[in-house]
Amino acid sequence: MLPRNEPPTPKGRYYEIRAKGLREFAGLKRDDERLDPFDLARAAGLLVAPFEQIAPLLTSETREHLLGDGSANWSGGAASHMLPDGRKLIILNPTHGITRQQATLMEEISHLFYGHEPTKLAIKRKNRNGEVVARDYNNEIEEEAYSTGAAALVPYTALVRMVSSGKTIREIAKHFGVSPALVEFRIKISKLWDNYAANVFSGDNK
């Protein structure tokens, strides 16, 4: 039997409560409403700047790394200093698809809500293959921010209902405007995979 009201793990419940707070802050009332991270960012006083806008501030070497060889190694970041008007600046990797940028933005918003140290865009070093390696962040903090952001995008209670009614990952992803990979992550971390498989692969979708 699936718990229908809250995630089965303590960690899951912890993230879910915070994710609910983020959704409420964005003005959402129902658990199956789509959360637009860009709306939430605006409500939270964040400025999500297009990369082209900050590109002139970077050295050409940094710019080339971020968009070229290094582009696979970063997804986004928040500036460590506030803008003069009090807003926080967030930059997303423009070479990534929109659903990935949205998940990254949710993660950055979560970092700020948790009061995590802002992640930095600074490039630390090159590895043995000469590839750019981004700073090594604290895993626990990253997990907390990503998981909370994912829970805000795809709430547990709505996910349980959709999985139980035999909806596919693709359908759920489309509903919430997120990537199928994020939905799969939410299903697995919420321990709904067996249920999902039983409902989707049996052909008995009721």
- State the residues that interact with Zn ion by CB under 5 A: 107, 119, 142, 145
* SS3 of residue 92 by DSSP: strand
d(CA 135, CA 140): 15
Q: What are phi and psi of 19, to 5 degrees?
A: -65, -40
Closest distance to Zn ion from the beta carbon of 107 (Å): 5
Nearer to Zn ion, 145 or 183 (CB): 145
Nearer to Zn ion, 109 or 173 (CB): 109
Tokens 């506030």: give the residue. Answer: 82
Closest distance to Zn ion from the beta carbon of 22 (Å): 15
Pairing of strands 123-126, 88-92: unpaired
Nearer to Zn ion, 101 or 119 (CB): 119
Nearer to Zn ion, 74 or 196 (CB): 74
d(CA 142, CA 85): 28
Closest distance to Zn ion from the beta carbon of 145 (Å): 5
Rounded to 5°, angle at Cα 87 from 86 and 88: 125
d(CA 49, CA 88): 10
Closest distance to Zn ion from the beta carbon of 143 (Å): 9
